[in-house]
Amino acid sequence: MDPGTAIGIAAAVLQFVDFGTDLLSETYRIYKSPSGIIAGEVALSTIVEDLNAELAQIQTAVLVDDAHRSPALNELLRISRECEQVVTPLREAIKRMQKDGVQEISHEKATVDGKRTLVKSFRTALEGIWNRKKVEETVRTLQDLSRRMTSATLFCLWYDAQPWPEVGPPKQKHSPWLQGRVKTESGARCSLRPAVRQND
């Protein structure tokens, strides 16, 4: 696999994580879209569009046609697809906010003006739909995705740089040829030492 593919997948996921983490931050005051546009006020519909755009970038990046997918690449793809599990409940929560009359987020003022209701932060509005614990869990999930993606990318680049025999690299997920594996739990770490192959 071209190293650029792994880096492209990682970049798409990490950009999504940065956007989501900022969106849920308690200290986030000015809305910054993934494209870099800054606004004091932002419609909830715009936030949904930005979330969808970020997810679409990830879905495009993971369209990998690789006849010899390594365990490292499979881990990258699996982490990438978990991003949708974050976006789906956020979209549902935004729909509930809109039904409750919240249409915009204003980082400068909070007013109720007949046709529209503004709140000071997205997180404030979200905690009104969920609860603080669920919001914090989502933040931790995003942070965990970032850690795991960084480790998986390093593993993938190392794996594809190895001088595998002519038969090609092992295809099993837990190959005996590898001592290092990317752990999928929170706080993942990666050991990049090849194991010594045992004689039959």
Distance CA 103, CA 198 (A): 63
27, two tokens: 């200290």
- Whole-number Cα distances in Å, 157 to 16, 18, 75, 193: 21, 22, 12, 13
Residues of the chain with pLDDT under 70: 1, 27-29, 65-69, 107-120, 164-200
* pLDDT score at 41: 80
Question: pTM of the prediction?
Answer: 0.72
**Would the CA dihedral through 32, 36, 42, 44 be positive or negative?**
negative
Q: Where are the domains of the chain?
A: 3-160
Cβ neighbours of residue 45 under 8 Å, at least 6 residues apart?
98
* pLDDT score at 191: 40
* pLDDT score at 66: 60
